[in-house]
Amino acid sequence: MNIFKRHELKYLITAEQREYIERAICEYMTPDEYGESTICNIYYDTDNYRLIRRSIEKPMYKEKLRLRSYGKSADDKTVFLELKKKYDGVVYKRRISLPCKDAVDFMEGKTDLKEDTQIGREIKYFIKYYETLKPRVYLCYDRTAYFSATDRDLRITFDRNILWRREELDLRHDHYGTDILKEGQSLMEIKSGTAMPLWLVDIINKSGVKRSSFSKYGNAYTSILKDELTERRGLCNGRVI
């Protein structure tokens, strides 16, 4: 699928809460056929991080552009160039698939897309509109996914080992970085095209978990700001000395 429209609910959970929820949903949901996978992303943003700054402000409408691979990529391995938009609580994701080298060359302005598609034109307009887009953050995580046995639009994912970095911004490099989560934590996301089924509402209530506005890229950006502030303070202290 290259077009998605759904609601996404996020929860930061402990190891105990995750164990309870995974055990409770097994009656209704099936593990993804690929099992646990490592998802890798390059987030593109402007020189002043305009996209993530706006996202953190929680506006009615926000958007982002990222390049995604499943596992470490290679020149000829398929990756996904994705436009992700959120309007009034509904998430819209549109993406194209292409070899990693072609995607990188396109984003660096060296080549054009080989296929002329509606989604491709939307991505090119997005790039032209924001002008100074460059890779800003690499972000990867280990994901376990479940699908509803009766509703394929209902999906629950658990992400752990959420790592980010600002160097080697290339999906063809190894997975490493700074962990965003505390030890034992996972980020659970419930993704559905319709309302949450009653059995899942009951499981969530009994588990005691609370919804979160957690953003992986947003947390990485917050860390970047803290690092820059620390660096500036160090420079100021150095001048005083």
**Per-residue pLDDT reduced to its tens digit, 142-152:** 999 999 988 88
C-alpha triplet 80, 164, 121: angle, nearest 5°: 25
Does 133 have pLDDT greater than 50?
yes
Which spans in 32-87 are helix H? 50-56
64 C-beta neighbours (distance < 10 Å), count: 20
Closest-CA residue to 72 (of 34, 30, 38):
38
Contact 71, 230 (CB under 8 A): no
Q: pLDDT tier at 4 (50, 70, 90 boundaries)?
A: confident
% of the chain residues with pLDDT over 90: 83
Question: And the tokens for 144?
Answer: 């376990």
More confidently predicted of 23 and 149:
23
Q: Which of 81, 84, 14 is nearest to 55 (CA)?
A: 84
Distance between CA atoms of residues 117 and 68, nearest Å: 19
What tokens does 76 get?
């000829």
- Domains of the chain: residue spans and CATH: 3-240 (3.20.100.30)
Tell me the backbone φ, ψ of residue 174, rounded to 5 degrees: -70, 165
Strand 211-212 vs strand 61-70: parallel, antiparallel, or unpaired?
unpaired
CA gap 149, 155 in Å, rounded: 10
For residue 150, give the DSSP letter: S
Structure tokens at 3: 């077009």
Q: Is the pLDDT of residue 232 over 60?
A: yes
* Per-residue CA distances from 173 to 137, 166, 204 (Å): 13, 13, 37
- pLDDT band at residue 241 under the 50/70/90 scheme: very low
Average pLDDT along the chain: 93
Report the pLDDT value the prediction gives residue 240, as an integer from 0 to 100.
45
Separation CA 225–CA 208 (nearest Å):
32
**Residues near 178 by beta carbon (within 8 Å), at least 6 away in sequence:** 163, 164, 165, 223
Average pLDDT over residues 58-70: 95
pTM: 0.92
Return the residue matching tokens 């690499």.
138
